[in-house]
Structure 1
Amino acid sequence: MATRPALPATVPALEAEIAARRERLGHTIDELAHRVSPKTILHRRTEAAKARFADVATTPEGDLRVERLAAVVAVVAVVGGLALYRRLHRR
């Protein structure tokens, strides 16, 4: 069972303890507000996407994985071509 720290006995000591706790709480709230701000979330997501892309597109030595990039380009070209074909032949 954890023991509680002894509370300061004097009024000025209690006031100082309350002020210190209020300061720590203010810093905690500021940190939480920063973590959940849309700008911070977007930055974290962008960095994670860049890291995933780097993992997929490069070898551990840092060389490009040309075969993977070529496959992605081919898929994009086929999907784009199909979309263009459907759009042109609807009319």
Structure 2
Amino acid sequence: MTTDPSALEREIEETRERLAGTIDQLLHRASPKTIVGREIWTIKAHYVDPATGQPRTDNILKTVGAVVGVVVAFVAVRKITS
């Protein structure tokens, strides 16, 4: 631990600057625009391979199958209840 006042002041200022940088990073990560951008990227990465840019047909077909299944289930329920 240093007893020199000027060294102590420098250390405090460096700590303040580090904390300010950390707070800025946290604010950026928690901003709605950043969160939305991150979620959009995640969804796109699920359907398009980021490395090659090629569509991931297996994931696309799974999603289409699930949507068709839900639509068929709704139609069947409506016909049964009508």
TM-score, normalised by the number of residues in structure 2: 0.63
Q: Of residues 50, 58, 75 in structure 2, which corresponds to 1:84? A: 75
Q: CA RMSD in A?
A: 3.1
Q: Of residues 36, 49, 62 in structure 1, which corresponds to 2:43? A: 49
Runs of 4+ in 1 over 4 A off after TM superposition: 67-72
Identity %: 35
The alpha-carbon distance between structure 1 residues 72 and 32, as it changes in their structure 2 partners (threshold 3 A), is closer
Q: Which has the higher helix share?
A: 2
* Higher Rg of the two aligned structures: 1
TM-score, normalised by the number of residues in structure 1: 0.57
Q: Of residues 31, 45, 48 in structure 1, which corresponds to 2:25? A: 31
Aligned length: 80
Gapped regions of structure 2 (runs ≥ 5): none
The alpha-carbon distance between structure 1 residues 20 and 74, as it changes in their structure 2 partners (threshold 3 A), is closer
What CA distance in whole angstroms lies between the structure 2 residues aligned with 1:50 and 1:88?
36
The alpha-carbon distance between structure 1 residues 29 and 42, as it changes in their structure 2 partners (threshold 3 A), is same
